[in-house]
A and B are shown apart, each in its own frame.
Chain A
Amino acid sequence: MIKVERLTKRYGPTLAVKDITFEVEKGEIVGFLGPNGAGKTTTMRILTGFLPPTSGTASVAGHDVLEEPLEVKKHIGYLPEAPPVYPEMSVEGYLDFVGRLKGIPSGEVNERLDGVVEGCALRDVRKKLIGQLSKGYRQRVGLAQALIHDPDVLIFDEPTAGLDPKQIAEVRQLIHDLSGEHTIILSTHILSEVQSIASRIIIINDGKLEASDTPENLMARMRGHESLLIEIDGPPEDVEERLLAVEGVNGVSRKNGHGGRTSWSVETSKDAVIRSELARVVVESGWGLYEIHPIGMSLEDIFLKLTASEDAAEAAVQDEPAAEAGADSPDETVEPTVSEAAALPEEAPPEEKEESSKQEGAAAS
């Protein structure tokens, strides 16, 4: 359905996209994953015909984006990062306009409009001005806009950016419902987001394609690289020694400490078993256990793991805590975005995780 070959985009001296090649089959849901500025939006804009590539080719439904832009545009529904809505128009008026713009015959516009209003749960706000809608509703209007002409290919640029958790769940469900009939490309910098809906993940970093695989395979490749944050009240030298002695611990590094307590970052190979083992060791030694929870891997870590060789990756991970040793509070390393981006096998949302870890800490103390 979508074919991209050796695509390169240059903005003046900067290369935004470097030599990317991939293919998307009909009915696939592909997640573009990468940090901000990685080239996700640029790639999508080239596919939609908004930007021309500097070199390489891209085609959608058999039509080249440069040679037959109008044909390509007919087959694509596109939701840019900011929904392209006119605040002074009503939801109905706007969707009617987009429907006509996308070339739906006049007689069918109303029918399609009713369809997307139902599909995107917009019935309550149908007559309202878009400028008065909440961000979540505006995003849904953006989705409705992309869907109105029933295109084969849907391209969503960060469809859940800036929404609250409930709205994120709704949008995700909407996208999930669309799968099957449509070929979907969506971009995000949050791994858990694509993990649940995408049939394939394409990781882009710094304009380059780093990996393209199913979520399961990517997870498998990243397993065995978990790290834990553990806060202990005990003599630091002993703690380090005892923790290292636990089977499955690859490395221990001290992060910081206050009031007799010290925080440690523990590199492990097997996560689930080792947490109880660590807790047992700490309690048996007579120390206080304040906190123990997994640290999410940032996307950078994942990229490093995916691209560097095993040894280099491990070295990089062990260097990182040392660089962060100056940080004031251990909480800084576990802010929600980071844990959300984490390659954790558990499905628990970050809030819950933090809460449970606090409870654990309280129980231990």
Chain B
Amino acid sequence: MRNVWTIASRELRSYFASPIAYILLAMFSIIFGYFFFSAVAIFVDFSSRGQMGMQMPPMNVDQFIIQPTLGNFSIILLFLSPMITMRLFAEEKRSGTIELLLTSPVRDFDIIFGKWLAAVLLFACMLAISMLNLAVIFLLSTPDWRALLVGYLGLLLMGGTFLAIGAFISTLTKNQIVAGALTFGAFLLLWVLDWVNAYSTSTIGKVCQYIAIAPHFEQFSKGVVELKDTVYYLSAIGLGLFLSKRSLESLRWRA
């Protein structure tokens, strides 16, 4: 565990020593701020129409602001997480520092888990920024904080999944751009998988829907912890880290 933290903390420091972390966090705040603003704007618009005596469905901030805003999170992840993970291993392979890691008395899994943890922690910084936006609602209303907490748990799991897959792809190449492009391609595929078969009832359609990453977040955004979705995310993270480990091992045999 000590080794994991050694590696994770170096990686985190390295994110914040370079512009990467700041650019990502700034981009995230702008995009998330826009999503949050538009959700609030719609809510305000609807509620003013209700006051004018128009027939409106019953409204609350949980359903109309928090749920759509968290739901949009996966779009942001789709674009930003490749930028978090693309350098994880590709950069070490290019500069030769991977030789230091692989000749140190640490297990391969410690290296992979440490790096993934650092990526998750950077993502957690994004989540913290998003909380600043949502805190405004707590000043003006009384949303269900337990549902929101579940929503954030879901985001961590979904983010972890994206980052584990990204980490694996980063082990495959020395070139950050290649890693970034491949990761983005893979995420996009996992993203559109359920569009194509959205209304299909065939087995293939159901399988595709299950594999797609984003739909599993739906229940979390409503504040429901579904075992099926939790298992999906945890096993996807496990698979990503396992493949990374295998890939790192194969580096020795192929090198």
Contact = CB atoms under 8 A, between A and B. Distances in A.
Contact of B99 (A76, A84, A89, A97): A84
Interface string B241-255: 000000000001101
A70 B105 CA distance: 5
A276 B10 CA distance: 64
B204 interface: no
A145 B14 contact: no
A97 B105 contact: no
A100 B95 CA distance: 21
A273 B13 CA distance: 65
Contacts of A80: 96, 99-100
A102 interface: yes
Given A80-B96, A84-B97, A89-B14, A49 B6 contact: no
A51 interface: yes
A97 B6 contact: yes
Contacts of A74: 105
A296 interface: no
Interface string A37-76: 0000000010011111000000000000000001101101
Given A88-B17, A89-B13, A50 B103 contact: yes
Interface string B97-108: 111111111110
A142 to B, nearest CB: 9
A97 to B, nearest CB: 5
Contacts of B17: 88-89
Interface in A94-110: 97-98, 100-103
**For chain B, what secondary structure do more than half of its interface residues adopt (helix, strand, loop), or is it mixed?**
helix
Nearest to A11: B255
A93 B13 contact: yes
Q: Give the interface centre of B3, B98, B103, B104 by most chain A CB atoms within 10 Å.
A: B103
Q: Give the interface centre of B18, B99, B253 by most chain A CB atoms within 10 Å.
A: B99
Contacts of A70: 105-107
| Size class of the contact patch on chain A | 20 to 34
A93 B14 CA distance: 11
Nearest to A48: B103
A89 B95 CA distance: 14
Contacts of B107: 70
Given A76-B103, A78-B103, A100 B6 contact: yes
B105 A102 contact: yes
Contact of A84 (B6, B96, B253): B96
A220 B10 CA distance: 51
Contacts of B96: 80, 82, 84
A100 B8 CA distance: 12
Contacts of A102: 104-105
Interface in B91-147: 95-107
A22 interface: no
A84 B100 contact: yes
B106 to A, nearest CB: 6
Interface of B: 2-3, 6-7, 10, 13-14, 17-18, 95-107, 252-253, 255
Given A52-B252, A78-B99, 7 more contacts: A51-B255, A84-B99, A88-B14, A100-B6, A101-B101, A101-B104, A145-B100
12 contacts: A50-B102, A52-B253, A71-B105, A74-B105, A82-B96, A84-B97, A86-B14, A98-B104, A100-B3, A101-B100, A101-B104, A145-B100
Q: Which 4 A-B residue pairs are closest in the complex by CB-CB distance?
A: A84-B100, A73-B105, A88-B17, A100-B6
